């Protein structure tokens, strides 16, 4: 049963071939026997079995008809779940149990999905390998000596290892797409604002976006359809314009950034990503190389903006209201000790960097310039999408590195996001789809990027490729 996609399982539940309780039982068994350290917290089995019976009755009576009614789902551990521990993979929130659920989780539960557990991740989403977690590194199911990617590494590994049918992750600079690529599954980062961030524990508020990870683009599209839409609890959320999808890509124009196929990109990664574009060319799409003149600035601009916002967002974790509290003789000492003991090294590093770029005398030199670079990046993408329908490039320069390799070279870890962070800076939709394997047997992911609010087009391009591919 765990081999099924979420939509396949949903169909079998509707037809009566599989019971909801049976599906929930299988999902719990798989999650509890995880070999990848994908989960931090498993939900209460008895509670979920009771929920399964209620959902089964609603499906029988016709009160529930969504595509994922009765389907168990995993949730990244920085997305709030009412009554279920949410830690952000950090010691500082080790005992935090939210009194409410994120809007995206509520929508999934209203559609009949059942939350099986919370997935491991980089602490507060800060990392590209899911090794900075307080609860230990996530292992890649294709090779347990390699990373799963980050920060939604637990979600991607769980789906790839058949420990979950699908998952809900978050993406600040590639945190859905990069682990999806490393683990050989499909991950979708929606247009900024199309999915409510209410209940997502913030890292960088102008960049964070909730999105799905599934076995294929069809699963991601079904989940996105449920969670997308305006939410009065999130002032940055958007009404969705009605946009038709596509089934025929004849006449579509696709751009390939030459900078993403140059030096530093593994030859096998290039070959497989170009193989994906060959499929589109054979179907009548026009594929052309272009230049991204801003590519050298995306990493510094992203890490300045992200760390600046993180230094503000994470100031709330001080031991006063919730979470870990260090023993101290006065308030100032408690603040210092709580944050020093509660946060891991990578989180402390990024808070310090963010505080520095926002400080008096450095704000104009760093933060203001990063915002100007962001504006130029948006301008260049607007110009590209005046001529092209989509952009295709690798998700990452290489396949998944060995565990521990990136932790000894921080710059190398940051540079692994070079093809994903500009998408968050510009607020664009993008999907990672598996397109092959390297000589070591590790998955390669291709990234399909669209203009703002063309989420359906991006999802359809991923689906069309997968329907014509045996990968």
Active site residue 175: yes
Q: Residue 11: which of 72, 74, 67, 73 has the closest Cα?
A: 67
The Cα–Cα gap between 422 and 377 comes to 7
The Cα–Cα gap between 445 and 430 comes to 12
Residue in 175, 311, 416, 422 annotated catalytic: 175
Residue in 38, 76, 189, 406 annotated catalytic: 76
Residues in the chain: 471
Who's near 224: CB < 8 A, 6+ residues apart? Answer: 188, 190, 195, 211, 212, 455, 459
Are the C-beta atoms of residues 76 and 130 closer than 8 Å to each other?
A: no
Active site residue 76: yes
Who's near 394: CB < 8 A, 6+ residues apart? Answer: 260, 261, 265, 269, 270, 273, 419, 444, 445, 446, 447
Question: How far, in whole angstroms, is CA 387 from its chain's centroid?
Answer: 28
The Cα–Cα gap between 329 and 326 comes to 10
* DSSP conformational letter for 297: G
Residue in 38, 66, 130, 151 annotated catalytic: 151
Instruction: Provide the 10 A C-beta neighbour count for residue 471.
Output: 15
3-state DSSP call for residue 72?
strand
The Cα–Cα gap between 436 and 373 comes to 34
- 146 phi and psi, to 5 degrees? -115, 160
Could you tell me the two tokens for 339? 């944050």
The Cα–Cα gap between 81 and 92 comes to 17
The Cα–Cα gap between 263 and 131 comes to 27
Are the C-beta atoms of residues 348 and 364 closer than 8 Å to each other?
A: no
Q: State the catalytic residues.
A: 76, 151, 175
């Amino acid at each position: 049963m765990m081999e099924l996609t979420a939509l396949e399982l949903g169909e079998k539940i509707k037809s009566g071939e599989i019971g909801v309780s049976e599906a929930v039982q299988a999902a719990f068994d798989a999650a509890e026997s995880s070999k990848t350290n994908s989960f931090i917290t498993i939900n209460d089995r008895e509670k979920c079995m009771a929920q399964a019976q209620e959902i089964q009755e609603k499906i029988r009576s016709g009160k529930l008809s969504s595509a994922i009614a009765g389907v168990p789902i995993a949730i990244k551990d920085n997305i709030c779940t009412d009554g279920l521990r949410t830690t952000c993979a950090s010691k500082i929130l080790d005992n935090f149990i939210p009194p409410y659920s994120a809007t995206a989780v509520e929508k999934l539960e209203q559609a009949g999905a059942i939350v099986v557990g919370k997935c491991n991740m980089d602490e507060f989403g800060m990392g590209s390998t899911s090794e900075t977690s307080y609860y230990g590194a996530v292992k890649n199911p294709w090779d347990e000596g390699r990373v799963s990617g980050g920060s939604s590494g637990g979600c991607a590994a769980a789906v790839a290892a058949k420990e979950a049918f699908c998952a809900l992750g978050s993406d600040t600079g590639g945190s859905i797409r990069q682990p999806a690529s490393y683990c050989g599954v499909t991950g979708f980062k929606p247009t900024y604002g199309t999915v409510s961030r209410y209940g997502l524990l913030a890292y960088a508020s102008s960049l964070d976006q909730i999105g799905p990870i599934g076995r294929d683009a069809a699963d991601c599209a079904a989940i996105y359809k449920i969670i997308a839409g305006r939410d009065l609890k999130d002032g940055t959320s958007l009404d969705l314009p009605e946009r038709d999808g596509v089934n025929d890509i004849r006449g579509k124009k696709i751009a390939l950034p030459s900078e993403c196929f140059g030096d530093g990109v593994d030859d096998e990664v290039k070959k497989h990503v170009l193989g994906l574009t060959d499929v589109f060319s054979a179907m009548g799409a026009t594929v052309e190389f272009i230049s991204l003149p801003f590519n050298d600035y995306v990493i510094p601009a992203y890490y300045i903006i992200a760390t600046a916002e993180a230094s503000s967002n994470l100031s709330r974790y001080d031991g006063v209201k919730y979470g870990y509290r260090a023993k101290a003789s006065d308030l100032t000492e408690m603040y210092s000790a709580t944050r020093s003991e509660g946060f891991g090294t990578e989180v402390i590093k990024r808070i310090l960097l963010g505080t520095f770029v926002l400080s008096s005398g450095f704000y104009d030199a760093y933060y203001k310039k990063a915002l100007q670079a962001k504006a130029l990046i948006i301008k260049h993408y607007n110009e590209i999408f005046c001529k092209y329908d989509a952009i295709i490039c690798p998700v990452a320069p290489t396949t998944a590195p060995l565990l521990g390799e990136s932790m000894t070279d921080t710059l190398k870890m940051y540079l692994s996001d070079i093809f994903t962070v500009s998408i968050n800076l510009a607020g664009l939709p993008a999907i990672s789809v598996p397109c092959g394997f390297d000589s070591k047997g590790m998955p390669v992911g291709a990234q399909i990027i669209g203009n703002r609010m063309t989420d359906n087009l991006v999802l359809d391009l991923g689906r069309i490729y997968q329907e014509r591919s045996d990968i």
